[in-house]
Structure 1
Amino acid sequence: MIVFTPEAKKEILRTFSSPGIPDGYALRVGMKGGACSGSYLLGLDKASVHDEVYEIEGVVVVIDRRHLMYVIGTKIDYTQTDAGAGFVIMKE
């Protein structure tokens, strides 16, 4: 469904081990916007009644049911460059 590179998984698990992250939070993967201007969304959130909850490679992931068809088959990477570091989400 969703694939994490080893770097992304390491960074996500490191984030969740931080003392500032409250219990019950998961990684939210979804979409923001729509049609041709849509972009991927990645963040920390609690599941709602509109979400599906999955455990993928040890990471609890929540996805709004309306976004499932858009995020299935995505790959999440974490990169570090001179310009900064961050997650990159791409369709496989």
Structure 2
Amino acid sequence: MNIQLSEAAARHVSEHLARRGAGVGVRLGVTTTGCSGLAYKLDYVDEIAPGDVVLEQHGVKLMVDPKNLAFIDGTQLDWVREGLNEGFKFSNPNERDRCGCGESFRV
């Protein structure tokens, strides 16, 4: 499995976990939704679930449910600021198409 977390994304996650006062990392996955079928799902995690694939990069743990690996393997997760907006940016080589609003994708 090859999922990359940028230093900026790891820093943002670490800062958020510190403000929360709890948590072991984040879980990356997909959910069925939107025009194209799939959307990224990112949740802060307080406990590692049995069966989770766990990666650690830049001091941050990233958990992935094995059912989601085929959809997100090779994804690069970054924290970016574009104008007045900031947020996570997903660069996924498995994406074949995105909906017009950019909220969902197809593999």
What TM-score range do you get, normalising by the shorter chain?
0.7 to 0.9
Greater than 4 Å deviation, 4+ residue runs: none
Gaps of 5+ in 1: none
CA RMSD of aligned residues (A): 2.0
Whole-angstrom CA distance in 2 between matches of 1:7 and 1:54: 17
The two structures have a TM-score, normalised by structure 1, of: 0.78
Deviation at 1:70, TM superposition (A): 1.6
Q: For 1:21 and 1:44, locate their aligned partners in 2 and report how far apart those are by CA, in whole Å.
A: 12
Q: Is the Cα contact below 8 Å between 1:27 and 1:43 reproduced in 2? A: yes
What CA distance in whole angstroms lies between the structure 1 residues aligned with 2:26 and 2:14?
Answer: 10
Going from structure 1 to structure 2, the CA distance change for 1:6 and 1:57 (only over 3 Å counts) comes to closer
In 2, the alpha carbon distance for the partners of 1:3 and 1:84 equals 22
What 5-or-longer segments of structure 2 have no aligned partner? Answer: 94-107
TM-score (norm 2): 0.69
Give the Å deviation of 1:81.
Answer: 2.7
Partner of 1:9: 10
Secondary structure of 2:28's counterpart equals strand
Contact 2:13 2:25 in 1 (8 A): no
Q: Return the structure number with greater strand share.
A: 1
SS in 2 for 1:14: helix
Counterpart of 1:29, as a letter, is L
Structure 1 contact 75–91 (Cα < 8 Å) conserved: yes
> Which of 1 and 2 has greater Rg?
2
Q: Aligned residue for 1:29?
A: 28
The 5 Å alignment of 1:47-66 reads 47-66=48-67
Count matched residues: 89
Q: Hey, what's the Cα distance between the residues in 1 that align with 2:73 and 2:57?
A: 12
Partner in structure 2 of residue 82 of structure 1? 83
